[in-house]
C-alpha cells in the first residue's frame, strides 16, 4: 500500500490537533500581546521603542531560527521530548525575566531563552499535525493555528489586567506557570506505532516521516530544495511576509494610544478583536483550502493546490494594502474594523503555509522544507520589527511602521502572483529539481 494511505486522518490525530492548539494559545498569548507589557517596560527602564522592538524581534526570530535544531532534535528524540524540553526552557526564561533589573536582561531572557524554548515547542507541534493528516490536512492545520488567535483574544485583556494590577513582574510569573503546563501537553505527542495503522502492508510511511528520516536524507532534500527556482521564489516571498507580519500587531497598541489618544484598555480590546477574527480566519481559510472552487471552470476549480496558493496570494496582498492605508482609520471604531479585517486575512500566512509547502515539495520533504522556511521566517522577524521601530522613533509616528510592513506584505503577494499568473505554468516540485 502506498505511504499516503497509511495516514490516519483522525483518531488520536484529533488529540494531537487539540494539543497543538493549546500550545499555540500559550505561545502566541505571550508573543502577540507583548506590546501591552512593553510600554510598562519602556517606562520602568527609561528605554526606547527600538529596544522593545528588538526584544520582540529576538523572541520571534530565534523561535523560528532554531527550526533546523528543533527538526534535528525531533528526528533524534521525537516530538514529545522536544516539546517538553522547550516548555521547561521557556518557563525558565519567563521566571528569570521577573527578576530582571534592566531592559537588556529582559531582552536576553525573553529573546533568547524563551525564544529557543518556544522554537522547540513550535516546530514539532506543527510537523506532527501534518504527519497525522492528509485529506483533512488544511482543516487540521487551520484548527491548530486557531490557538494563536484564541491566545491573543484571551491574553490581550488578561495581560493588561495583570500588568496594571500586579506589574510586569507578575506578567512573567504568570507565563512561567503556563509554559510549565505546556510540558503536560507535550506528553500527548506520541509517535506512530506500526500496530496503530490499519491495513498497512509495510512501514513505508514510518520510514518517510520527518520524525525518523536520516540525516543524510535531510541533507539531500535540502540540496534539492535549494536548487528549485519555484521553492526559492516562495522562500523570498515568505521572507518578505515575515518582515511585515509581526510589526502591525506589535505597534497596534502604540498607534491606538499615541496617535488616537485611546486608553491601554481600548488598545487591549482592539488586539482582542484582531485575535477573534484571526482565529475565525485560520479555521475558515483552512476549511476553504480543502475545498474545490466549484464557481470556477472545472479544470481550474478542482485543482486544490492552485486554489490554496491563489487564496494565500490574495490575502497577503490585501493585508499589505490595509497596512499602507492605516492612516485612514482614525477612531476606535475604525481601528477595530482595521484589526478585524487584517486579522482575518493575515490568518492565511499561518493556516495555509505548511499545507502549501506539502503541495510544493511533497510530504517526504516537508521536514526539510519547513526547517528552511523557519530560517527565512526567523530572518524576517529579526529585521522587520527593529526597522519598523526605528522608523517610528525617527518620524515620531507609528504610521510609517505600518507602511513599511504593508509594502513588504504587498510585494510578497505580488511576486508570487507574477510567477504563477499563468495557471498552466504553475509547477509544483514534489520531485527534486533538475
Give the CATH number of the domain where residue 70 resides: 1.20.1250.20
Residue 300 pLDDT greater than 70, yes or no:
no
The x, y and z cell numbers of residue 117, run together, are: 524554548
Cβ contact 136:10 at 8 Å:
yes
pLDDT, residue 8, reads 62
CA distances (Å), 361 to each of 231, 261, 426, in order?
Answer: 8, 48, 13
Which range has the worst mean pLDDT, 107-111, 204-208, 213-217, 410-414? 204-208
Q: Which three cell numbers stand for residue 387?
A: 526597522
Q: Is the pLDDT of residue 1 over 70?
A: no
Of 173, 227, 193, 200, the C-alpha closest to 30 is: 173
Pick from 56, 1, 4, 18: nearest CA to 382? 56
What is the predicted pLDDT for the residue at 260?
A: 81
Which three three-digit cell numbers place residue 309? 496558493
pLDDT score of 210: 43
Query: Which of 199-213, 319-333, 363-377 is modeled with the greatest confidence?
Result: 319-333
> In this predicted structure, what is the pLDDT of residue 71?
76
Domain annotation covers residue 433: no
| Residue showing cell 516546530 | 123
Count: domains in the chain: 1
Expressed as residue numbers, the domain containing 187 is 3-421
Cell of 277: 477574527
Residue 428 lies in a domain: no
Tell whether 164 is covered by a domain. Answer: yes
Q: Quick one: pLDDT band at residue 28, thresholds 50, 70, 90?
A: confident
Q: What DSSP line would sit under 378-402, residue for residue? A: HHHHHHHHHHHHHHHHHHT-THHHH
Written as nine digits, the cell of 262 is 485611546
Confidence label for 295 from pLDDT (cuts 50, 70 and 90) = low
203-212, 249-258, 408-417: range with lowest mean pLDDT: 203-212
Among candidates 256, 241, 244, which has minimal Cα distance to 385? 244
Q: Report the C-alpha gap between 155 and 72 in whole angstroms.
A: 32
**Residue 214: left (phi > 0), alpha (psi -120 to 50), or beta?**
beta
pLDDT of residue 294: 61
How confident is the model at residue 180, as a pLDDT? 93
- Is 136 part of a structural domain of the chain? yes
Tell me, what's the pLDDT at 425? 43
Q: State the pTM of this model.
A: 0.67
* pLDDT per position as a tens digit, 210-249: 444 455 666 777 777 888 777 888 889 999 998 998 788 8
Residue 77 in this model has a pLDDT that exceeds 90:
no
- What is the C-alpha separation between 361 and 430, in angstroms, rounded? 4
**Interatomic CA distance for residues 305 and 389, integer angstroms:** 37
Residue 427 lies in a domain: no
* Domain-embedded: residue 429: no
- Count each helix (H run) and each strand (E run) in the chain, helices first: 19, 0
Question: Is residue 372 situated within a structural domain?
Answer: yes
Mean pLDDT score of the chain? 79
User: Could you give the count of Cα atoms lying within 13 Å of 37 in the half-sphere of its Cβ?
Assistant: 31
pLDDT digits over 116-168, tens only?
A: 999 999 888 888 887 787 777 777 877 887 787 778 778 877 888 888 888 88
- Helix boundaries (H) for 227-365: 229-254, 264-289, 298-301, 304-324, 332-346, 348-351, 353-361
What's residue 403's pLDDT? Answer: 92
The cell for 146 is 486557531
Q: How many whole angstroms from its chain centre is CA 352?
A: 10
Amino acid at each position: 500500500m502506498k505511504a499516503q494511505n497509511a495516514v490516519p486522518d483522525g483518531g488520536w490525530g484529533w488529540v494531537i490537533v487539540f494539543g497543538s492548539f493549546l500550545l499555540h494559545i500559550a505561545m502566541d498569548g505571550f508573543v502577540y500581546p507583548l506590546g501591552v507589557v512593553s510600554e510598562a517596560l519602556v517606562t520602568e527602564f527609561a528605554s526606547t521603542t527600538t529596544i522593545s522592538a528588538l526584544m520582540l524581534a529576538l523572541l520571534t526570530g530565534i523561535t523560528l531560527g532554531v527550526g533546523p535544531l528543533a527538526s534535528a532534535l525531533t528526528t533524534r528524540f521525537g516530538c514529545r521530548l522536544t516539546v517538553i524540553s522547550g516548555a521547561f526552557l521557556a518557563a525558565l526564561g519567563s521566571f528569570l525575566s521577573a527578576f530582571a533589573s534592566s531592559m537588556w536582561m529582559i531582552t536576553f531572557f525573553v529573546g533568547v531563552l524563551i525564544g529557543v524554548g518556544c522554537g522547540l515547542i513550535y516546530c514539532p507541534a506543527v510537523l506532527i499535525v501534518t504527519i497525522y493528516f492528509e485529506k483533512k490536512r488544511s482543516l487540521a492545520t487551520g484548527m491548530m493555528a486557531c490557538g494563536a488567535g484564541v491566545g491573543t483574544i484571551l491574553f490581550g485583556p488578561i495581560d493588561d489586567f495583570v500588568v496594571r494590577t500586579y506589574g510586569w513582574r507578575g506578567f512573567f510569573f504568570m507565563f512561567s506557570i503556563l509554559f510549565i503546563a505546556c510540558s503536560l501537553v507535550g506528553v500527548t505527542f506520541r509517535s506512530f506505532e506500526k500496530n496503530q495503522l490499519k491495513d498497512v502492508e509495510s512501514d513505508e510511511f514510518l520510514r518517510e516521516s520527518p520524525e525518523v528520516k536520516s540525516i543524510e536524507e535531510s541533507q539531500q532534500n535540502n540540496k534539492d530544495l535549494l536548487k528549485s527556482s519555484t521553492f526559492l521564489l516562495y522562500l523570498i516571498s515568505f521572507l518578505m511576509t515575515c518582515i511585515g507580519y509581526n510589526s502591525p500587531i506589535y505597534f497596534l497598541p502604540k498607534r491606538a494610544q499615541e496617535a488616537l489618544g485611546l486608553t491601554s484598555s481600548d488598545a487591549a480590546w482592539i488586539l482582542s478583536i484582531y485575535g477573534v477574527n484571526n482565529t475565525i480566519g485560520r479555521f475558515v481559510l483552512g476549511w476553504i483550502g480543502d475545498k474545490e472552487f466549484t464557481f470556477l471552470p472545472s479544470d481550474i476549480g478542482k485543482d486544490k493546490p492552485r486554489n490554496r496558493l491563489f487564496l494565500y496570494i490574495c490575502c497577503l496582498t490585501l493585508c499589505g494594502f490595509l497596512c499602507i492605508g492605516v492612516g485612514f482609520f482614525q477612531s476606535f471604531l475604525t481601528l477595530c474594523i482595521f484589526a478585524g479585517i487584517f486579522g482575518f486575512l493575515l490568518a492565511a500566512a499561518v493556516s495555509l503555509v505548511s499545507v502549501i509547502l506539502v503541495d510544493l515539495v511533497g510530504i517526504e520533504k516537508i521536514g526539510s522544507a519547513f526547517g528552511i522556511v523557519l530560517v527565512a521566517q526567523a530572518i524576517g522577524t529579526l529585521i522587520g520589527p527593529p526597522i519598523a521601530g526605528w522608523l517610528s522613533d525617527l518620524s515620531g509616528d507609528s504610521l510609517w511602521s505600518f507602511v513599511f510592513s504593508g509594502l513588504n506584505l504587498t510585494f510578497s503577494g505580488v511576486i508570487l502572483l507574477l510567477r504563477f499568473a499563468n495557471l498552466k505554468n504553475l509547477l509544483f516540485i514534489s520531485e527534486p529539481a533538475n
